[in-house]
Amino acid sequence: MLLDRRREREVLDRLLEAVRGGRSRVLVLRGEPGVGKSALLEYVVEQASGCRVARAGGVQSEMELAFAGLQQLCAPMLDRLERLPPPQRDALGTAFGLTTGVAPDRFLVGLAVLGLLSEVADERPLVCLVDDAQWLDRASLQALEFVARRLFADSVGLVFAVRQSGAEQALAGLPELVVEGLGDGDARALLASVIRWPLDERVRDRIIAETRGNPLALLELPRGLAPAELAGGFGLPVQPLPARIEDSFQRRLAPLPAETRRLLLVAAAEPVGEPALVWGAAARLGIGVEAGDAAESEGLFELGARVRFRHPLVRSAIYRAASGQDRRDAHRALAEVTDPRLDPDRRAWHLAQATSGPDEAVADELERSAGRAQARGGLAAAAAFLERSVELTLEPVRRAERALAAARAQAQAGAFDAALRLLATAEAGPLDELRRAQADLLRGQIAFAVNRGSDAPPLLLAAAKRLESLDVGLTRETYLEALSAAMYAGRFVAGGGLRDAAEAARAGPPASQPPPAPDLLLDGLALLITEGYAASAPTLKRALRAFSSESISRKEGLRWLWLACPTA
């Protein structure tokens, strides 16, 4: 039931009207937990007559699984995958693990989703609803943002619900509607529906003021409190509103039978909402089907075709209230009933959560999952798998090597603070000379990515010199990175180490024969800086021809063309 929300309902009604009329619309519902965003999404479902509705929801425990949210949204539409152009079809198939291949290009994944939604909307207007978007995995969120900014003349509506945050806003720049608390009149009516005894007007007004009209807080916080506890005000500690709502849910959990609480924990630890997995894991823990009755009668969750909690805060309250051992038992049971062929990554993640100390077998599983995530283009997911594998590794050499791989993955995902932390772990271990040089290279790459300043070129040059006797190909790549960093830094800082980088590159090992495009570019730029235009022109022309040829890989083109183009 929606109390008032006239303004919000009018906005959503106009969105549906536009979609039915053949025009695309995007809207971000932004607000604090419990303010009613999910209820507004349900209103859209109720009003979306004549439209097909597709839904997805972010789950905090699934944030490490690349494209999990996107797959949830698109799964019912995959019968139309064959209608997409082959590059897009292959990219999306690889992202979803339907096919094998090289890591998909994010641009092609975004185009594929855009095309898939358009194909579905050609038959019937389509409304896509994404709840708790702040918990989508990064790859899914980026793809959906890409789609949202390119919808135009298709009968597609895309509505996100996302928590208000003081940090960097997800989905920033898209049309948004801030959902605020209920007005005083509606808040009083909602509060009266759960407090059945006379309430002093000043106490009632204080409750409404403290909850800021948040509907879930008004419904949940007074539950379980006696009249005497409310008489002096709001009988709860001063703490952030979401934490207070979680405390209320935890009070409702306490009287439930132990088996019911264990079943709820299994359901909270299983992010897919698949009843067969929940009941399979419950059976392994000796939990009978009757345990679900008390939880459903309490109104905390529904156990039907999908497992659905009343609110995400119910899930987090259940999980936080459990002991560490109970959580590990739940994850272990879920790992045992998860098919290792169909869903090896989710199984590996459950195994990792079920492990309290070093475990080489689980660390190996996580390492393999990271490889699969990277192959799908899930850089953030790969980084999370690798970081957890480091935590479970005891042997010093393997721990250092995995920490270096995790640091590299975090840097590729743009998480530079995490990358530096892992890099320090790797450098503290017994790395061999090649990996120590690779660690130096990564530190220089991070320095360049973070501040584009003059501190990056010396780090990259030091790494290149250390690599000279170890890996000639990587040495020359590193000299080219040092040269590009010095060229960039020289635009803002006097000197910038440009000539030093060029002279070091010329003194380094020569290119293989015939030289590939990046090697020609390195030699040409080093000559340009040290000898001038006339000496460098022939080599630079060869480099440009090589970059223009069909033999250059897309990866090399994307990596170096920004540096090659200005020389034209």
HEC per residue, 187-246? HHHHHHCCCCCCCCHHHHHHHHHHHCCCHHHHHHCCCCCCHHHHHCCCCCCCCCHHHHHH
Q: Is 399 exposed, middle or buried (0-12, 13-18, 19+ CB in 10 A)?
A: buried
Cβ(55)–Cβ(238) below 8 Å: no
CA angle 178, 182, 188 (to 5 degrees): 170
The tokens describing 218, both together, are 């008004």
The set of residues, in sequence order, having a beta carbon less than 8 Å from that of 515 and lying 6+ positions away, is: 523
Q: Is the pTM of this model over 0.75?
A: no
Cβ(120)–Cβ(46) below 8 Å: no
d(CA 361, CA 116): 39
User: Which one-letter amino acid corresponds to residue 459?
Assistant: L
d(CA 458, CA 424): 19
CA of 527: how far to CAs of 80, 447, 493, 530, 534, in Å? 53, 26, 22, 5, 9
CA count, 13 A, side-chain hemisphere, 307: 23
Reduced to 3 states (helix: H, G, I; strand: E, B; else coil), residue 163 is: strand
The set of residues, in sequence order, having a beta carbon less than 8 Å from that of 195 and lying 6+ positions away, is: 222, 230
pLDDT of residue 54: 96
Domain limits of the chain? Answer: 6-178, 184-236, 510-568
pLDDT of residue 295: 76
Cβ(140)–Cβ(147) below 8 Å: no
Question: CB neighbours (10 Å) of residue 94?
Answer: 22
Residue by residue, DSSP assigns 375-411 as HTT-HHHHHHHHHHHHHT--SHHHHHHHHHHHHHHHH
Fold classification of 6-178 is Rossmann fold (3.40.50)
pLDDT of residue 250: 80
3-state helix, strand, coil in the chain (%, to 5): 65, 5, 30
pLDDT of residue 463: 94
Profile the chain (568 residues) by mean pLDDT over runs of 10 residues.
78 96 94 89 94 90 83 93 92 87 84 95 95 91 93 91 73 91 83 69 70 79 56 46 72 85 90 86 92 79 78 80 93 94 88 92 93 83 91 96 95 90 96 95 92 82 93 93 83 60 90 88 90 90 83 73 71
